């Protein structure tokens, strides 16, 4: 997992406010796309992506001002990575195509657990249903 964590850290460090705004404009379409993910080996992935998308929307729109930028950047990176069809393991690989997406999302949830669990609590969301420890 340290390699994934480092990969996520490097990717999140590249997220600028302009990228956040670009992703924010694309999120409605991405959220619809995420609901179509069929990944039985990763049953929590869709819920986790939807949660991160909501957190990004709320933080970027000013509806939730308590999310540190580093957590916002991590969430944006995870969403963009999961949206990308050609990543470390192409999503077209039926058996393992979402393994890397799930790993990136879980790394963000683990790294920013404190901030994201506070966001979940502020929205009345059960963190245990979202977290990497379902």
Q: What pLDDT, on the 0 to 100 scale, is given for residue 84?
A: 82
Q: What pLDDT, on the 0 to 100 scale, is given for residue 37?
A: 85
Q: What string of DSSP letters covers 69-130? A: HHHHHHHHHHHHHHH-SSSSS-TT-TTTTTHHHHHHHHHHHHHTHHHHHHHHHHTT--HHHH
What is the C-alpha to C-alpha distance for residues 134 and 127, in angstroms, rounded to an integer? 9
Q: Which token pair is 91?
A: 């999503």
Q: What is the DSSP letter of 41?
A: T
pLDDT along the chain (134 residues), means of 10: 88 97 96 89 92 97 96 97 73 66 94 97 94 61
User: For residues 30 and 92, is the Cβ–Cβ distance under 8 A?
Assistant: no
């Amino acid at each position: 997992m340290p390699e994934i964590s480092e990969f996520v850290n490097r990717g999140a460090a590249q997220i600028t406010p302009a990228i956040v705004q670009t992703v924010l404009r694309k999120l409605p379409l991405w959220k619809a796309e995420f609901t179509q993910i069929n990944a039985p080996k990763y049953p929590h992935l869709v819920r986790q992506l939807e949660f991160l998308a909501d957190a990004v929307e709320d933080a970027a729109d000013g509806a939730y001002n308590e999310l540190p930028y580093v957590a916002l950047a991590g969430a944006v990176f995870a969403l963009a990575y999961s949206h990308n069809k050609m990543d470390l393991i192409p999503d077209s690989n039926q058996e393992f195509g979402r393994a890397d997406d799930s790993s990136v999302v879980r790394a963000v949830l683990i790294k920013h657990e404190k901030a994201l669990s506070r966001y979940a609590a502020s929205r009345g969301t059960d963190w245990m249903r979202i977290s990497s420890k379902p």
